[in-house]
């Protein structure tokens, strides 16, 4: 196999290929249910021939665009600058939505939304100060592949061609040029396998598990696997949203796609030869109550005393508060902190017992209150307390608000993993005066046109149900420095 813009050295050819399969919402609780029933033989095979970590910590907000940005750049959102799925861009005075619900996208403008999702996310919003795995390796003449991932930025100019119907409906121009890895597959827009199977509009134009597996197989069959391949499997997330955390049918369906990939080899054991396999979840999901009136926290009703603009009207001069709902987490912006102080909004939200974390930035510190209990917590970095990740903190107030405990100047986390860093960095991810709120398990936020998951499951929040994912590794005994998606980039690069 040749490497684009370079030559294969003996050392490179002897290195193992790294194949990372990102399974959206791969959680230990659901995986174990499928394994107990003997319904996930491929997952079982990888675990038996490697190791399984059930509690890797996802970035916050626990939304795929933020998670994937951290995975590829190795930094939290304060540095990679992709705040979440939905956020308010102060410079452009508009809400950016990378695909929350089609109702929202239509109201915000489909053409603009498509540009944000397919181009701006990677090329204008993701910070250029932090190189992706693809960019770093390409500079070293090491080839990489990206298959169906939301974040893909590389160094090679590629053409993305949108299907005629998609272009017609959205107003998006048919062709755009982007920068991607040298091996790049992006649904029906740019694919490796010329077959049209699994890529029609009723199949989400190829953004589905079968298409992803087909593309991985194509590389294996033709001995075209580069040094590093990352492939995204989205379907499990959709299943858990509808059926809940304990539904293992989605795991069984993903397992069948893993089986088709393994069956590309003469034996499953051969698949382990010269390959390091990493199967990784991106975020978890928390359960949502069956009672619609109880489950959905309508921020428009809670904050009805303020002027909240309609999505279709844009941000008007009379607007006071902007809502950007990320399922179980929300950014709530005050457009004039003098007339609408964040503390004032926070006190209104504190009356709702379904909201467990209400936070805002004041100077260099973050203040936290809750709808569950009284008191306040104030914290900032660089204090005399240290946590398990080697991070230092100054903390005063009610530790229980973030499930913290302190023993001999050591901070330990409970129901909110890596809560201090994950929460703190959200306040430096983009400009503006805003609250960050997270819901208790059982509940999710809604605004105008938000997706809902009553009786199912949802994510975005700070809680461990949203935050802990599974990772299965074969082909190496090494592990990342810490069990966080934040730490995977350096570990992956060390393997290459």
**Per-residue pLDDT tens over the stretch 342-372:** 999 999 999 999 999 999 999 999 999 999 9
pTM for this entry: 0.93
Residues 6+ apart with CB under 8 A from 122: 151, 152, 153, 178, 179
**Per-residue pLDDT tens over the stretch 76-105:** 999 999 999 999 999 999 999 997 767 787
Q: Say yes or no to pLDDT of 144 above 50.
A: yes
**What is the reported pLDDT for 433?**
96
Instruction: Label residue 198 by pLDDT band (50, 70, 90).
Output: low
Domains and CATH numbers, the chain: 18-82+126-288+462-495 (3.40.720.10), 292-455 (no CATH)
Higher-confidence residue of 117 and 138: namely: 138
Q: What is the average per-residue pLDDT within 268-292?
A: 97
Q: What is the average per-residue pLDDT within 403-425?
A: 97
Residues 6+ apart with CB under 8 A from 17: 225, 226, 227, 228, 229, 274, 275, 276
Three-state secondary-structure class, residue 289: coil
Q: What is the average per-residue pLDDT within 53-79?
A: 97
Question: Prior bond to 167 cis, omega within 30?
Answer: no
E strands, 304-409, where? 321-326, 329-334, 355-362, 365-369, 377-387, 392-397, 404-407
Three-state secondary-structure class, residue 63: coil
**What is the reported pLDDT for 10?**
31
Instruction: Label residue 232 by pLDDT band (50, 70, 90).
Output: very high
Average pLDDT in the chain: 92
Q: What is the average per-residue pLDDT within 170-184?
A: 86
d(CA 307, CA 321): 6
Q: Say yes or no to pLDDT of 12 above 70.
A: no
**What is the reported pLDDT for 173?**
80
Lowest mean pLDDT among 139-143, 186-190, 216-220: 186-190
Lowest mean pLDDT among 56-60, 151-155, 165-169: 165-169
Measured at the CA of 365, the angle between CA 363 and CA 367, to 5 degrees, comes to: 110
**What is the reported pLDDT for 206?**
66
**What is the reported pLDDT for 204?**
58
**Per-residue pLDDT tens over the stretch 445-488:** 999 988 999 999 999 999 999 999 999 999 999 999 999 999 99
**What is the reported pLDDT for 33?**
95
Higher-confidence residue of 219 and 314: namely: 219
Higher-confidence residue of 198 and 379: namely: 379
Find the distance separating the first CA and the last CA of the chain, reported in whole Å: 16
Cα–Cα nearest to 244, from 409, 395, 65, 459: 459
Three-state secondary-structure class, residue 139: helix
Q: What is the average per-residue pLDDT within 199-205?
A: 55
Percent of the chain with pLDDT over 90: 80
Q: Write out the two tokens for 28.
A: 């230990």
**What is the reported pLDDT for 11?**
39
Lowest mean pLDDT among 61-70, 81-90, 163-172, 228-237: 163-172
Q: Under a CB-based contact definition with an 8 Å cutoff, are residues 345 and 338 in contact?
A: no
**What is the reported pLDDT for 205?**
64
**What is the reported pLDDT for 186?**
86
Residues in the chain, how many? 496
Q: Say yes or no to pLDDT of 71 above 50.
A: yes
Instruction: Label residue 211 by pLDDT band (50, 70, 90).
Output: very high
Percent of the chain with pLDDT over 70: 95
Q: Say yes or no to pLDDT of 6 above 70.
A: no
Instruction: Label residue 14 by pLDDT band (50, 70, 90).
Output: low
């Amino acid at each position: 196999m040749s490497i684009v813009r370079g030559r294969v050295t003996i050392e490179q050819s002897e290195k193992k290929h790294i194949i990372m399969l990102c399974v959206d919402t791969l959680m230990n609780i659901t995986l174990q249910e499928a394994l107990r029933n003997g319904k996930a033989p491929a997952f079982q095979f990888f675990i038996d021939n490697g190791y399984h970590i059930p509690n890797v910590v996802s970035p916050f907000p626990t939304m795929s665009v933020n998670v994937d940005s951290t995975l590829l750049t190795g930094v939290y959102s304060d540095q990679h600058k992709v705040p979440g799925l939905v956020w308010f861009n102060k410079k452009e005075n508009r809400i950016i939505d990378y695909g929350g619900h089609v109702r929202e996208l239509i109201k915000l403008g489909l053409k603009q939304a498509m540009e944000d999702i397919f181009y701006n996310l990677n090329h204008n919003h993701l910070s250029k100060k932090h190189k992706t795995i693809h960019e770093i390796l390409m500079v070293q003449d090491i080839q990489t592949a990206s298959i169906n991932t939301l974040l893909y930025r590389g160094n090679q100019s590629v053409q993305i061609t949108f299907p005629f119907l998609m272009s017609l409906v959205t107003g998006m121009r048919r062709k755009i040029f982007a920068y991607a890895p040298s091996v790049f597959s992006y649904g029906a827009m740019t694919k490796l396998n010329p077959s049209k199977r699994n890529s029609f509009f009723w199949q989400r134009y190829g953004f589905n598990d079968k298409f992803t597996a087909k593309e991985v197989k194509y590389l294996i069959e033709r001995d075209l696997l580069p040094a590093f391949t990352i492939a995204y499997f989205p379907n499990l997330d959709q299943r858990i949203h509808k059926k809940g955390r304990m539904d293992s049918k989605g795991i069984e369906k993903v397992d069948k796609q893993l089986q088709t990939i393994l069956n590309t080899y003469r034996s499953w054991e051969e698949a382990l030869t010269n390959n390091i396999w990493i199967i990784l979840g991106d975020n978890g999901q928390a359960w949502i109550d069956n009672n619609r009136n109880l489950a959905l926290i309508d921020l428009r009703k809670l904050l009805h005393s303020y002027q909240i603009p309609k999505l279709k009207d844009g941000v008007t001069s009379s607007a006071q508060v902007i809502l950007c709902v990320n399922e179980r987490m929300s950014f709530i912006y005050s457009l004039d902190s003098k007339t609408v102080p964040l503390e004032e909004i926070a006190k209104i939200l504190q009356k709702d017992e379904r909201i467990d974390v209400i936070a805002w930035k004041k100077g260099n510190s973050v203040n936290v209150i809750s709808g569950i209990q009284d008191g306040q917590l104030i914290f900032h970095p660089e204090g005399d307390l240290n946590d398990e990740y080697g991070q230092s903190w100054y903390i005063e107030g009610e530790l229980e608000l973030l499930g913290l405990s302190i023993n001999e100047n050591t901070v330990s986390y409970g129901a909110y993993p890596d809560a201090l860093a994950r929460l703190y960095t959200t306040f430096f991810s983009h400009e503006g005066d805003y609250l960050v709120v997270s819901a208790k398990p059982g509940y999710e936020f809604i605004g105008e046109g938000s997706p809902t998951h009553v009786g199912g499951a949802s994510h975005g929040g700070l809680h461990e149900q949203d935050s802990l994912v599974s990772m299965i590794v074969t082909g190496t005994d090494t592990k990342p420095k810490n069990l966080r998606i934040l730490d995977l980039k350096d570990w992956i690069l060390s393997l290459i």
